[in-house]
Amino acid sequence: MQFFVDTADVDEIRNLAATGLVDGVTTNPSLIAKSGRDFIEVIKEICDLVDGPVSAEVAATDHDTMLAEGRKLAKIADNVAVKVPLTPDGLKTCKTLADAGTKVNVTLCFSPGQAILAAKAGAAFISPFVGRLDDISSDGMALIDEICTVYSNYTDFETKVLVASIRSPQHVIEAAKIGADVCTVPPGVLWQLFKHPLTDAGLKAFLADWAETGQSILGN
């Protein structure tokens, strides 16, 4: 499974990238707005930090403007993946960009039927939002299971399932058990994956035992 980090915080991305855990980045207009910085500038800086796909979302809703925005975003760097909404105009834009060799991330997916449409339009990634489904008492992970099952039935579908709207480490674990290709994870959740009380307790005991020896691996 690949990990994309879901943020526009350049310092956070740089910190996480140093762990070797970041395979890509996803952003959206809301995340860019929180940064208070120029949109294009932020995307370019992020693309310089990671080798994998960096999703940059269009802001328009009509095909012609989405296409123009998508083409401009794609020129920022070779690893930009243009993000478009799962609407008729969004999928029309996806088809045009994909045919030209641009990776496209189709976002705001909430049903297997929508996921099928995105795959047929040539999407590189489909982003089902599990947390938002959970919020309305639906089963977000069941959607991931359904999409993975459908895609596995068709060898000509090359679209990767990118699990979005992740709220907890458990979402990541369940997505991995199902076999999703990618999880786009908020930095806080990614750091939570490191945590376990027995790891902390074990390290504390090891350090206490080592201190009693009075030794130093690096010497005096």
Residue 119 sits in a domain whose CATH number is: 3.20.20.70
Beta-carbon-side half-sphere exposure of residue 151 (alpha carbons within 13 Å): 28
Average pLDDT over residues 140-159: 97
Residue 71 lies in a domain: yes
Give the C-alpha separation, 88 to 174, whole Å.
Answer: 31
Strands 80-85 and 160-163 turn out to be: unpaired
Residue 166 lies in a domain: yes
Q: How many domains is the chain partitioned into structurally?
A: 1
| Percent of residues, the chain, with pLDDT higher than 70 | 100
Quick one: which H or E segment has residue 133?
helix 130-135
Residue 114 lies in a domain: yes
Average pLDDT over residues 23-41: 88
Residue 75 lies in a domain: yes
Other CB atoms within 10 Å distance of the CB of residue 15: 14
Give the C-alpha separation, 82 to 104, whole Å.
Answer: 5
Average pLDDT over residues 120-134: 97
CA 133-50-65 angle, 5° bins: 60
Residue 128 lies in a domain: yes
| Domain that includes residue 83, residue range | 2-213
Q: Is 115:150 a contact under the CB 8 Å cutoff?
A: yes
Q: Is 4:52 a contact under the CB 8 Å cutoff?
A: yes
User: Looking at residue 220, what is its pLDDT?
Assistant: 67
Mean pLDDT rounded to a whole number for the chain? 95
Q: pTM score > 0.95 for this model? A: no
Average pLDDT over residues 108-136: 97
Residue 220 lies in a domain: no
Which band of pLDDT confidence, cut at 50, 70 and 90, is reported for residue 28? confident
Average pLDDT over residues 49-64: 96
Residue 208 lies in a domain: yes
Residue 171 lies in a domain: yes
> Does the annotation mark 83 as catalytic?
yes
pLDDT digits (tens, 9 = 90+) for 155-190: 999 999 999 999 999 999 999 999 999 999 999 999
User: Looking at residue 35, what is its pLDDT?
Assistant: 80
Please pick, among 83, 95, 177, 195, the residue that the annotation labels catalytic: 83
User: Looking at residue 208, what is its pLDDT?
Assistant: 96
Which band of pLDDT confidence, cut at 50, 70 and 90, is reported for residue 71? very high
Give the C-alpha separation, 40 to 42, whole Å.
Answer: 5
